[in-house]
């Protein structure tokens, strides 16, 4: 049974037949093709090599952007790649998935009136990381510390943490619930943003540093307990992510035809045969984040005839960036704002037939229903209303002790949880911005915090 079993009654992309196989394949090829060498040289020249550069300040992982761009311009690709990777070992995937339009590129001084066009930092970063050629891994491990650290979750936070810990001389065991590493890079990002099995290749590269052992199929709260880890390892890092899809809270939420967008995307990312994917000819996506956009756009690119994205507030409140919204619109996705799910409409067989929405408006800062409703017919509804913390993962006695900020794990400025020697980062902690690049930074900083604590302990002993 696949995670998309809820759509089993729907036709496959092949059967819908909107696109022939080559077009279908093309629909999921690189959204932003890489720069050619020449384009990269020209673009790199545009960088002004700002002092105390605003782009660096805007980068959650603190990549020295002017420096790596200057290295590209001097035809020193390996140097550029190393500058990127020493700050962000997942620089290759960040180059693809970072919302640069709200981070480094938004702060580029070339956005000012004179040009209104930032340096294409993301594509330059990709150019460097795609074209680097190292003999062996570019980073060397420090002498062994004899310490062994458990990292839970092989997503961006966990991988970043593991790599940095290995670099600092520690031994790492990485526990991953799925059968493949990468986390959302592998399972959660739109297919056309991460082509050619890049997430997997990047992890292979990362693991070349050595000292990292991965155990797959190990899920905290299922076949893994924090108590054990806490006992057996010198330190623990939790990069659990947000494993639970939020519920709409309506009757019929388990009806065939309604499913979380992330589950569909996961299947889409793993399939070898796009044509075999089930496609709803008419579908509704609920939500306003990048996952909602990814879902809607991919459904349109698979051949859905009518894709409607519905959000309960206005466009300006959408967390998907303008750039992302434009992608959806360019793919024919219809966007309806100021409407919230009111009722799931079912056919005689109890399958999704559409949705009734209640129109909303804001009154004194409160979102309220206007009383007016409308219906949209659809074969499938995908909810992308955010991910929540999977509380099952922290169900053992030790884990239950962890202080929480709402549902997420509470950490201090050293990314340390309320339990000694237990650290956390990425989407599962409170200050999370739910960005890959932020998770990478958390993992890196936590590794340094762990290293510092262990070193201090050693000195004290």
Cβ proximity to other proteins, 107 vs 171, nearer residue: 107
Taking the complex as a whole, how short is the minimal distance between the CB of residue 314 and other proteins, in angstroms?
25
Taking the complex as a whole, how short is the minimal distance between the CB of residue 72 and other proteins, in angstroms?
10
Cβ proximity to other proteins, 48 vs 247, nearer residue: 48
User: Smallest Cα–Cα separation from 199: which of 261, 136, 156?
Assistant: 156
Taking the complex as a whole, how short is the minimal distance between the CB of residue 330 and other proteins, in angstroms?
30
- What is the C-alpha to C-alpha distance for residues 315 and 95, in angstroms, rounded to an integer? 26
Cβ-based neighbours of 153, under 8 Å, separated by 6 or more: 175, 176, 177, 183, 238, 239, 240, 241, 426, 428
- What is the C-alpha to C-alpha distance for residues 116 and 113, in angstroms, rounded to an integer? 5
Cβ proximity to other proteins, 1 vs 116, nearer residue: 116
Q: Which residues pair with 220 in a beta bridge?
A: 224
Helix axes 121-131, 77-87, angle to 10 degrees: 110
- What is the C-alpha to C-alpha distance for residues 193 and 30, in angstroms, rounded to an integer? 6
Taking the complex as a whole, how short is the minimal distance between the CB of residue 71 and other proteins, in angstroms?
12
Taking the complex as a whole, how short is the minimal distance between the CB of residue 437 and other proteins, in angstroms?
20
Cβ proximity to other proteins, 44 vs 245, nearer residue: 44
Cβ-based neighbours of 212, under 8 Å, separated by 6 or more: 162, 163, 166, 172, 173, 174, 206
Taking the complex as a whole, how short is the minimal distance between the CB of residue 68 and other proteins, in angstroms?
15
For every residue of 251-297, DSSP letters joined together read TTTTSTTEEEHHHHHHHHHH-S-GGGSB--SEEEEEE-SHHHHHHHH
Q: Are 51 and 314 in contact (CB under 8 A)?
A: no
Taking the complex as a whole, how short is the minimal distance between the CB of residue 430 and other proteins, in angstroms?
23
Cβ proximity to other proteins, 50 vs 248, nearer residue: 50
- What is the C-alpha to C-alpha distance for residues 429 and 242, in angstroms, rounded to an integer? 9
Cβ proximity to other proteins, 107 vs 245, nearer residue: 107
Backbone torsions φ then ψ of 62, nearest 5 degrees = 60, 40
Cβ proximity to other proteins, 48 vs 392, nearer residue: 48
Taking the complex as a whole, how short is the minimal distance between the CB of residue 39 and other proteins, in angstroms?
11
Question: Encoding tokens for residue 459?
Answer: 């000195």
Residues that bind other proteins (CB under 8 A): 41-42, 44-45, 48-54, 73-74, 109-110, 112-114
Cβ proximity to other proteins, 68 vs 205, nearer residue: 68
Q: Are 417 and 242 in contact (CB under 8 A)?
A: no
């Amino acid at each position: 049974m696949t995670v998309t079993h809820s759509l089993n009654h729907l036709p496959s992309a092949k059967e819908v037949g909107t696109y022939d196989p080559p077009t279908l394949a093309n629909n999921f090829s690189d959204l932003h093709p890489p720069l050619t060498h020449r384009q990269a040289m020209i673009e790199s020249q545009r960088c002004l090599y700002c002092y105390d550069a605003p782009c660096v300040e805007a980068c959650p992982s603190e990549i020295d952007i002017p420096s790596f761009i200057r290295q590209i311009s001097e035809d020193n690709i390996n140097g550029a790649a190393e500058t990127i990777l020493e700050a962000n070992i997942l620089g290759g995937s960040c180059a693809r998935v970072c919302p640069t339009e709200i981070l480094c590129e938004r702060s580029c001084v070339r956005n000012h009136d004179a040009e209104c066009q930032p340096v294409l930092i993301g594509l330059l970063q990709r150019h460097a990381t795609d074209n680097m050629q190292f003999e062996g891994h570019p980073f060397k491990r420090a002498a062994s510390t004899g310490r062994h650290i458990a990292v839970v979750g092989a997503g961006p936070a966990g991988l970043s943490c593991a790599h940095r810990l290995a670099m600092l001389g520690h031994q790492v065991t990485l526990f991953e619930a799925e059968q493949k590493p990468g986390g959302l890079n592998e399972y959660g990002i739109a297919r056309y943003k991460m082509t050619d099995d890049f997430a997997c290749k990047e992890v292979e590269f990362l693991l070349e540093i050595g000292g990292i052992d991965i155990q797959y199929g190990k899920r905290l709260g299922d076949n893994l307990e924090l108590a054990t880890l806490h006992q057996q390892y010198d330190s623990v890092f939790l990069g659990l992510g947000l494993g639970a899809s939020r519920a709409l809270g309506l009757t019929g939420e388990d009806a065939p035809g309604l499913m979380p967008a992330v589950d569909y995307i996961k299947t889409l990312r793993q399939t070898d045969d796009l044509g075999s994917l089930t496609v709803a000819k008419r579908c509704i996506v609920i939500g306003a984040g990048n996952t909602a956009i990814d879902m809607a756009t991919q459904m349109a690119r698979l051949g859905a005839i009518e894709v409607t994205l519905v959000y309960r507030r206005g466009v300006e409140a959408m967390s998907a960036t303008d750039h992302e919204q434009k992608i959806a619109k360019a793919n024919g996705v219809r966007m309806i704002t100021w409407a919230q799910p009111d009722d799931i409409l079912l056919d005689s067989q109890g399958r999704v037939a559409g949705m009734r929405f209640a129109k909303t408006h804001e009154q004194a800062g409160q979102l309220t229903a206007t009383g007016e409703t409308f219906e949209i017919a659809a074969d499938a509804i995908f909810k992308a209303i955010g991910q929540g913390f999977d509380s099952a993962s922290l169900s053992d006695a030790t884990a239950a002790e962890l202080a929480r900020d709402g549902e997420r794990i509470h950490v201090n400025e050293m990314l340390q949880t309320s339990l000694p020697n237990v650290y956390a980062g990425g989407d599962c902690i409170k200050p999370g911005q739910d960005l890959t690049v932020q998770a990478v930074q958390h993992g890196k900083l936590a590794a340094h915090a762990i290293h510092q604590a262990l070193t201090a302990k050693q000195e004290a002993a």
